[in-house]
Amino acid sequence: MKGIVFTEFLEMVEQKFGLDVLDSILETSDLKSNGIYTAVGTYDFKEMVALITSLSKQTNIEVPTLIHAYGVYFFDVLVKSYPNIFDYYTTAFDLLAGIEKHIHVQVRKIYPDAELPYFIVHEEMQNKLVLEYQSDRAMYGFALGLMERTLEHYQEVASINYKLLDATGTNVMFTITK
């Protein structure tokens, strides 16, 4: 997992829960990196799991809730870091349908070792978009947060429903309806 995902996660923890919680999760998680991340580095996804699990214990907030909150937070990081992508698209559906074929393709060019999910567009209509998420990391809650913020960014109103296609959520069907 890319360092930017770690550095921004720690930033969110500090902003939302304060420095004490940040220090404490870094201390209690067993991290090979010792909690020292650079945005362009690459680190074991297990470290993210350890950090989120530790944050969940500290705050009594469930892991899925935290992952979703991180997706919501990370959207603003993306808008700041890659404004051109958001200018290029004019609707939320176009952007979301373009993650696999355009956006993450560009990400792979910048970071060849990025661990990205795979999205399959099953249906793309004016008022309905059906996307299947596939990733061993099962970060579908992160995807949900990003999708919600994408709709808000383009000032569009739609409901997002999702269904886990397996027990762990490595395969999830999203249906977005206007």
Distances (CA, A) of 164 to 45, 133, 145: 21, 10, 16
127-146 footprint of ligand HEM as x/- string (CB under 6 A): --------x-x-x--xx--x
Residue 113's SS3 state is coil
Pick the binder of ligand HEM from 13, 52, 55, 103 (CB under 6 A).
Answer: 103
Cβ neighbour number for residue 142 with a 10 Å cutoff: 25
Contact 54, 28 (CB under 8 A): yes
Distance of closest approach, residue 33 Cβ to ligand HEM, in angstroms: 14
35-74 footprint of ligand HEM as x/- string (CB under 6 A): ----------------------------------------
Q: What ranges make up the beta strands (E) of the chain?
A: 118-124, 128-134, 159-164, 171-177
Stretch that binds ligand HEM, among 13-21, 24-32, 53-61, 115-123 (CB under 6 A): 115-123
| Residue whose CB is less far from ligand HEM, 20 or 120 | 120
| Residue whose CB is less far from ligand HEM, 55 or 147 | 147
Residue 112's SS3 state is coil
Rule CB under 6 A: is residue 92 a binding residue for ligand HEM? no
